[in-house]
Structure 1
Amino acid sequence: MRDVVILGSTGSIGTQALEVIADHRQEFRVRALGAGGGHLALLARQAADFHVDVVGIAQEKATEFAQLWSELFPSLPQPQIVAGTQAMTHIAQMLTGDSESSGVVLNGITGSVGLRPTLAALRSGATLALANKESLVAGGSLVRQAMSWPGQIVPVDSEHSALAQALRGGRHEKGLTSPVLSGHSEVRRLILTASGGPFRGKTRDELREVTAQRALQHPTWDMGPVVTINSSTLVNKGLELIEAAYLFDMQPQDITVVVHPQSVVHSMVEFCDGSTVAQASPPDMRLPIALGLSWPDRLDTVARPCAWEEPCAWTFEPYDHEVFPAIDVARQALATSALHPAVFNAANEECVAAFVAGRIGYLDIVSTVSEIVETFEDAGELSVAAVEAAEDWARQAAHQRFMTAI
Structure 2
Amino acid sequence: MALKVAVIGATGSVGKQTLEVIDRFPDKFVPTLLVGGKNVELLQILGKKYGCSVFSPWLHGPAELPLDKLESSDIMVYAASTVDYLNYMSHFLGLGKPVCLSTKEIIVEAWPLIESFSGLIRPVDSEHSALWRIGAKEPGVKSIYVVGSGGSLRDRKREEIENATLDQVLSHPVWNMGPKVTFDSAFLINKSMEVIEASHLFNLRGEQISIVIERTGSIHALVDFVDGSRNVFFSKPTMLIPIAYALSYPSILPLDEETVRQPGDALGYRLDKPDFDRFPWGKLGHYALELGYTSRMAFSVADEIAFECFKDKIMKPSDIYDFLVKAIEDYRAISYPESITEYFSLRHDMIEKMWKEVRAI
**Both proteins in one fold, TM over 0.5:** yes
Residues 215-234 of structure 1: pairs in structure 2 closer than 5 A: 215-234=169-188
Match of 1:113 in 2: 84
Return the offset for 1:112. 1.8
Q: Is the 8 A contact 1:3 1:31 kept in 2?
A: yes
Return the offset for 1:158. 0.6
Match of 1:350 in 2: 305
Q: Is the 8 A contact 2:245 2:251 kept in 1?
A: yes
Name the count of aligned residue pairs: 358
Determine which of 129, 137, 140 is the counterpart of 2:100. Answer: 129
Determine which of 193, 204, 211 is the counterpart of 1:257. Answer: 211
Match of 2:222 in 1: 268
Counterparts in 2 of 1:19 and 1:198: CA distance versus 1, 3 Å: closer
For residue 135 of structure 2, what is the amino acid of its counterpart? L
Q: Distance in 1 between matches of 2:337 and 2:263?
A: 56
Q: Is the 8 A contact 1:343 1:390 kept in 2?
A: no
Q: Secondary structure at the match of 2:134?
A: helix
Q: Distance in 2 between matches of 1:164 and 1:47?
A: 32
Q: Is the 8 A contact 1:351 1:398 kept in 2?
A: no
Counterparts in 2 of 1:349 and 1:186: CA distance versus 1, 3 Å: same
Q: Distance in 1 between matches of 2:112 and 2:67?
A: 19
Q: Is the 8 A contact 2:337 2:346 kept in 1?
A: no
Q: Distance in 2 between matches of 1:380 and 1:19?
A: 38
Q: Distance in 1 between matches of 2:155 and 2:338?
A: 40
Q: Distance in 2 between matches of 1:399 and 1:221?
A: 31
Q: Secondary structure at the match of 1:105?
A: strand
- For the pair 1:14 / 2:15, whether they are aligned, the reply is yes
Q: Secondary structure at the match of 2:172?
A: coil
Q: Distance in 2 between matches of 1:252 and 1:92?
A: 36
Q: Distance in 2 between matches of 1:296 and 1:205?
A: 47
Q: Distance in 1 between matches of 2:223 and 2:66?
A: 34
Counterparts in 2 of 1:335 and 1:27: CA distance versus 1, 3 Å: same
Determine which of 347, 350, 353 is the counterpart of 1:394. Answer: 350
Counterparts in 2 of 1:198 and 1:55: CA distance versus 1, 3 Å: closer
Counterparts in 2 of 1:404 and 1:89: CA distance versus 1, 3 Å: farther
Residues 3-402 of structure 1: pairs in structure 2 closer than 5 A: 3-40=4-41, 42-52=42-52, 54-58=53-57, 61-62=59-60, 84-87=62-65, 91-95=69-73, 103-145=74-116, 147=117, 151-167=119-135, 172=138, 185-200=139-154, 202-308=156-262, 313-376=268-331, 377-402=333-358
RMSD value over aligned CA atoms? 2.3
Q: Distance in 2 between matches of 1:207 and 1:166?
A: 34
Q: Distance in 2 between matches of 1:259 and 1:371?
A: 27
Return the offset for 1:344. 0.4
Return the offset for 1:343. 0.7
Q: Secondary structure at the match of 1:162?
A: helix
For residue 200 of structure 1, what is the amino acid of its counterpart? R
Return the offset for 1:402. 2.6
Q: Distance in 2 between matches of 1:249 and 1:259?
A: 23
Q: Is the 8 A contact 2:40 2:59 kept in 1?
A: no
Q: What do residues 353-385 of structure 1 show as CA deviations (whole Å, max 9, x unaligned)?
A: 111111121221122110121112313432223
Q: Is the 8 A contact 2:148 2:215 kept in 1?
A: yes
Q: Distance in 1 between matches of 2:311 and 2:346?
A: 24
Q: What do residues 261-314 of structure 1 show as CA deviations (whole Å, max 9, x unaligned)?
A: 110011111111121111111111111111111011111125232242896832
Q: Distance in 1 between matches of 2:54 and 2:88?
A: 15
Q: Is the 8 A contact 1:238 1:330 kept in 2?
A: yes
For residue 55 of structure 2, what is the amino acid of its counterpart? G
Q: Secondary structure at the match of 1:159?
A: helix
Q: Which sections of structure 2, spanning at least 5 residues, go unmatched? A: none
Q: Is the 8 A contact 1:34 1:91 kept in 2?
A: no
Counterparts in 2 of 1:314 and 1:186: CA distance versus 1, 3 Å: same
For residue 21 of structure 2, what is the amino acid of its counterpart? V
Counterparts in 2 of 1:85 and 1:292: CA distance versus 1, 3 Å: farther
Return the offset for 1:194. 0.9
Identity across aligned pairs (percent)? 27
Q: Which sections of structure 1, spanning at least 5 residues, go unmatched? A: 63-82, 96-102, 173-184
Q: Secondary structure at the match of 1:266?
A: strand
Counterparts in 2 of 1:359 and 1:16: CA distance versus 1, 3 Å: same
Q: Is the 8 A contact 1:291 1:299 kept in 2?
A: yes
Q: Distance in 2 between matches of 1:400 and 1:56?
A: 32
